[in-house]
Amino acid sequence: MSKQFDLLVVGGGPGGYVAAIRAAQLGFNVACCESNAYADPKGEPRLGGTCLNVGCIPSKALLHTSHLFEEAGHSFAEQGIGVGTPVIEVGKMLARKNGIVKQLTSGIKGLFKKNKVTLLNGHGSFVGRKQVAGGEVWQMQVGDDVVEAKEVIVATGSKARHLSGVPVDNEIVCDNVGALDIAAVPKKLAVIGAGVIGLEMGSVWRRLGAEVTILEALPDFLALADVDVAREAAKLFAKQGLKIILGIEIGDVKVSQKGVSIDYTDKDGSEHRLDADRLIVSIGRIPNTDGLAAEKVGLQLNERGQVEVDSHCRTNLPGVWAIGDVVAGPMLAHKAMEEGVMVAELMAGQAGHCNFETIPWVIYTSPEIAWVGKTEQQLKAAGTAYKAGKIPFAANGRALGMGDPSGFVKILACAETDRILGVHVIGANASELISEGVVAMEFAAASEDLARICHAHPTLSEVVHEAALACDKRPLHF
């Protein structure tokens, strides 16, 4: 006999597990199916998807360890702390990372039990639509079972895009999975792709002693970020020793047991060869829709393989929704979570909502980079009249005390209404500071509103305050 639920969530990543929990809180009988792609030692599926298992969480653990290592080797002495020459034990670093992953993924299972969400082991795919006494339900194949549900949320996430003809073994050639498990610090590390993953993983292994070269096909560095932020980041990364080459075209990539050689052509047409011990390929991600049997039920996909949805994540099929990396928009865990909550609340007849204009972006390099809203180049392209306030962390007592005064805060506001249009931060704790910009924009705040709010002293947030004042050309400390 088929298992029957009000809702089946296909995928237990950030979007899926949050959608399942919120729907259960709203009174639905919910199941969430997850394959064993990230199975634990017992062969049971680990929840959390890419983010918790091989993405956001483990990478931040490695970034923190490598940051401390670099601090000990380069920054402690100037503060009067003598520790000798630090030594990294990569095995212990990886074990700590794995422990954090286990703790958090197990925690989601605990949340499922608390909220009475049924976890099903197996990949979900569409079988068809069935008429029952109470109406119609969707039939889904999950492992060896057929599951029936009135509503389905597709939350199958994404996977790394690989270079054509270059197999990823996660030993010599790595994607995001292998980049988190390199057993020893390579002498030379090549990275293809100067996006978030490439910069973060390149930063980890550079801090630990690798000579890192990042090859990027695009002519502009961090094209999604504000031009001032991208320019500052490029300058600081170069100073750290992170070599970034833009506008290249990859040629032959040859892999051996000892390493890899990459032929490429630079922006001027000159040919080069880069030899390295390891290669990380980080050229984007593609949606996981190939196993859904979408064609069987007519679920509409676009040319990129993403599920087509409206602004509320409804697909073209009744009772079928899709969220997260599997739909258009930034592939960010927190965006998927917000969509999951929105869909659950819409199913319950509530006014579920997700403001895609105020989703923050963060890159966890050092310094961190974060932004929300429009960039200066976007405002110029749209012909929007704006004013800007920009204040460096070098003018901030807390940043100087921390020994990390690099970067700045930049606020863009409408020239006519003063409404904040974008907030851009490059500097220490940018990932935390950006939330003030998100809240301000959600409440349609003006730069004057932030300028009139008392910020604690001494804090890094005072730079946000000063940038708001600078929009009106009246900063007090710069």
Residue numbers annotated as active site: 457
Alpha helices in 10-120 (DSSP H): 14-25, 49-54, 56-70, 90-115
Name which of 402, 410, 406, 390 is nearest 458 in CA terms: 402
Output the CA torsion sign for 395, 398, 403, 409: negative
Please tell me the distance from the alpha carbon of residue 328 to that of residue 314, in angstroms, as a whole number.
12
**Class of residue 25 by CB neighbours under 10 A (exposed 0-12, middle 13-18, buried 19+):** middle
Please tell me the distance from the alpha carbon of residue 317 to that of residue 314, in angstroms, as a whole number.
8
Tell me the sheet residues that pair with 137. 130
Question: Which one-letter DSSP state was computed for residue 301?
Answer: B
Secondary structure (3-state) at 113: helix
Torsion of CA 379, 384, 385, 387, to 10 degrees: -30
The angle subtended at Cα 264 by Cα 260 and Cα 265, nearest 5°, is 170
Output the CA torsion sign for 9, 14, 15, 19: positive
Q: Within a 13 Å sphere around the CA of 140, how many CA atoms are in the beta-carbon half? A: 34
Secondary structure (3-state) at 362: strand
